[in-house]
Chain A
Amino acid sequence: MTMVSDAPALQQTSEPADNAAAPSRAARYARPLLGILLPLTLALGWELVVWLGWSNGRLVPPPSRVFATIAELARSGELVRHIAATLWRVSLGFAFGVVAGTLLGAISGYWSLARRLLDPTVQALRAIPSLAWVPLFILWLGIFETSKVALIAVGVFFPVYLGVMGAILIVDRKIVEVGRTFRLSGFAMIRRILLPAVLPAYVVSLRVGLGLGWMFVVAAELIGASEGLGYLLLDGQQLGKPAQILAAIVIFAILGKLTDWLIELAAAPFLRWQDAFGPAKGA
């Protein structure tokens, strides 16, 4: 993940630009540049080492060869196909996981009877290392898309469930009382008090869930796939092409960061009111 270190740049977008002492253009880019410095130095150093012939760079290919591989894959159209396959799986799994996690988390958080009924089971299931489900899913759902999406959904489900339930449980009683003094009905209370109150924690749990989704798509695609970035990894290992493995890793990093950023971007307008130490951060 060190390859893409534009995180500080993203924080800037969520900060109001009305800062009295608006940083100069140079200063604004200096901070993210600082983060890129280390990986960039390492990459250039390695490039130099290989270029000077001190190493043949066969097992650890220099950046130029990794990017050449990416360019090659892109030219042949392979890259788009693999990215599309992986993105599709993550999106589907993420969608299912988020819907299930949000629904069950909300029910458990809002309704204590349901929590007593449901939560112990969910917690027990959570204790199972999720990869242990793989054989079962393959047996039940086949080795094609369904079992992969299911595995990703499982990975996304737990952080979202926990995040939603936990956020509802810690909503400030004092704020809820304000709603009560204005005689909000159950539904209005949810819409006007609970929903905005849990939103920051919810966004964090979505980002954690997405991170796990990306983790699990690799697992799912390593198990058996004919396309996808995980397949590229496996293919690169079996055919002894480290440049292809690194290319896939770089693309994972970019996609992971990009999708995370999309969530942050979509949530930002709803979270401007926050009075926190720093902008809410995912894991």
Chain B
Amino acid sequence: MLALDRVSKTYPNGVAALARFSAEIRQGEIIAIIGGSGCGKSTLLRAIAGLDRASSGTVTLDNEAIASPHAKIGIIFQEPRLLPWLSVADNIGFGLTDLPATERREKVVRALERVGLVDKAQAWPRELSGGQAQRVAIARALVPQPEVLLLDEPFSALDAFTRRDLQDHLLDLWADTRPTLILVTHDVDEAVVLADRVLVMRPRPGRLFDQIEINLARPRDRNSPLFENFKRSVLTSLDRSLDRSVPDRDATQGPGQAMWW
């Protein structure tokens, strides 16, 4: 289980990007984080990834405190961030150098098959389309089999078609090993399609505003009335989060606070 306990982050320039964010996330759960621009979503994700240190509060994975990048936690950024000097296959195998070469090659081949890029194995990253590159980034993050995969607006730079395709693809890949997914998104549709639970954040300082459980069986039908209902409730919550006249629900009462150790 991933536990966030009152995670706060104040940048050196004094911006309070994150204030007392608490949540508990079950192993294998898919979480979508949604909220206005600048409300600290990326800050939160970077704290979980161990890329930046929280100013206060703790992130723990199975009771182990996270202060620096961890083998069980992978991250996918908004841009693919492939290493331009490595072939697609070597990019995917980047995190596997500890393994013997044959095992490594097997895993890479399997990952290539899984993301449908076998024919691109020896291509350079510059030869890929945006969607292909992001698929390589997903494969690279998944191939070491992390328990938690963080995704910071991974599909936001893609067209609607490719985005849908990759969302389905991500769910497919998730089903293989069922890691915990924490996905930052601006896209309500994406949140409702993917997530078990949507966390709505509110800005200045960034904090948790609301949680919405999406009790919908997968695969989800984007056109069903139920789907529309969930979308509407996420949208309503999002609107309220940006409306300053709406008072905070006391976030400390949320389920994330049920921590007694």
Could you tell me which residues of chain B, from 59 to 76, have a CB within 8 Å of some CB in chain A? 68-71, 74-75
Q: Tell me whether B51 is interfacial, beta carbon within 8 Å.
A: yes
- Do the beta carbons of A175 and B83 come within 8 Å of each other? yes
Q: Tell me whether A178 is interfacial, beta carbon within 8 Å.
A: yes
Q: Tell me whether B174 is interfacial, beta carbon within 8 Å.
A: no
The residue from A182, A193, A196, A273 contacting B124, defined by CB atoms under 8 A apart: A273
Tell me, in angstroms, the Cα distance from A199 to B51 when the chains sit together.
26
Which residue from chain B places its CB closest to the CB of A172 in the assembled complex?
A: B81
Interface size counted on chain B using CB atoms at 8 A: 20
Question: Can you spell out 15 A-B residue pairs with CB atoms less than 8 angstroms apart?
Answer: A174-B79, A178-B81, A181-B49, A181-B51, A181-B69, A181-B75, A182-B69, A182-B95, A183-B70, A192-B94, A193-B83, A273-B124, A274-B84, A275-B124, A275-B126
Minimum C-beta distance from B145 to chain A (A):
13
Q: Mark A172-212, 1 if CB is under 8 A from B, else 0.
A: 00110110111100000000110011010000000000000
- Give the bracket for the number of chain A residues in contact with chain B: 10 to 19
The residue from A180, A196, A275 contacting B51, defined by CB atoms under 8 A apart: A180
Minimum C-beta distance from B17 to chain A (A):
17
The residue from A177, A181, A196 contacting B85, defined by CB atoms under 8 A apart: A196
- Do the beta carbons of A174 and B84 come within 8 Å of each other? no
Chain A residues with Cβ under 8 A from B75's Cβ?
181
- Do the beta carbons of B126 and A273 come within 8 Å of each other? yes
Which residue from chain A places its CB closest to the CB of B96 in the assembled complex?
A: A182
- Do the beta carbons of A178 and B74 come within 8 Å of each other? no
Known: A178-B94, A183-B68, A193-B83. 13 other contacts (CB 8 A): A174-B81, A178-B81, A180-B51, A181-B49, A181-B74, A182-B95, A183-B69, A183-B71, A196-B85, A272-B124, A273-B86, A273-B125, A275-B126
Could you tell me which residues of chain B, from 205 to 244, have a CB within 8 Å of some CB in chain A? none
Given contacts A180-B69, A182-B69, A273-B124, contact A196 B83 (CB under 8 A): yes
Chain B residues with Cβ under 8 A from A174's Cβ?
77, 79, 81
Q: Is the interface of A mostly helix, strand, loop or mixed?
A: helix
- Do the beta carbons of B81 and A177 come within 8 Å of each other? yes
Q: Mark A269-283, 1 if CB is under 8 A from B, else 0.
A: 000111100000000
Seen from chain B, the residues whose Cβ lies within 8 Å of a Cβ on chain A are 49, 51, 68-71, 74-75, 77, 79, 81, 83-86, 94-95, 124-126
Tell me, in angstroms, the Cα distance from A283 to B180 when the chains sit together.
52
Chain B residues with Cβ under 8 A from A175's Cβ?
81, 83
Chain B residues with Cβ under 8 A from A178's Cβ?
81, 83, 94
Which residue from chain A places its CB closest to the CB of B76 in the assembled complex?
A: A181
Interface core residue of A180, A192, A197, A273 (most chain B CB under 10 Å): A273
Interface core residue of B49, B83, B85, B86 (most chain A CB under 10 Å): B85
Chain B residues with Cβ under 8 A from A193's Cβ?
83
Which residue from chain A places its CB closest to the CB of B150 in the assembled complex?
A: A181
Tell me, in angstroms, the Cα distance from A275 to B68 when the chains sit together.
32
Chain B residues with Cβ under 8 A from A272's Cβ?
124
Tell me, in angstroms, the Cα distance from A281 to B126 when the chains sit together.
20
Tell me, in angstroms, the Cα distance from A180 to B86 when the chains sit together.
17
Chain A residues with Cβ under 8 A from B79's Cβ?
174
Chain B residues with Cβ under 8 A from A181's Cβ?
49, 51, 69, 74-75
Minimum C-beta distance from A63 to chain B (A):
45
Given contacts A181-B51, A182-B94, contact A273 B69 (CB under 8 A): no
Given contacts A174-B79, A181-B49, contact A273 B95 (CB under 8 A): no
The 8 closest A-B pairs by CB, nearest first: A275-B126, A196-B85, A273-B85, A182-B95, A273-B124, A181-B69, A183-B69, A178-B81
Minimum C-beta distance from A25 to chain B (A):
28
Tell me, in angstroms, the Cα distance from A192 to B96 when the chains sit together.
13
Chain A residues with Cβ under 8 A from B49's Cβ?
181
Minimum C-beta distance from B108 to chain A (A):
15
Which residue from chain A places its CB closest to the CB of B87 in the assembled complex?
A: A273
Minimum C-beta distance from B148 to chain A (A):
12
The residue from A177, A182, A192, A273 contacting B84, defined by CB atoms under 8 A apart: A273
Chain A residues with Cβ under 8 A from B124's Cβ?
272-273, 275
Tell me, in angstroms, the Cα distance from A174 to B75 when the chains sit together.
12
Minimum C-beta distance from A201 to chain B (A):
13
Chain B residues with Cβ under 8 A from A182's Cβ?
69, 94-95
Chain A residues with Cβ under 8 A from B77's Cβ?
174, 177
Chain B residues with Cβ under 8 A from A273's Cβ?
84-86, 124-126
Tell me, in angstroms, the Cα distance from A181 to B75 when the chains sit together.
7
Tell me, in angstroms, the Cα distance from A37 to B7 when the chains sit together.
70
Minimum C-beta distance from A198 to chain B (A):
11
Could you tell me which residues of chain A, from 191 to 235, have a CB within 8 Å of some CB in chain B? 192-193, 196-197, 199
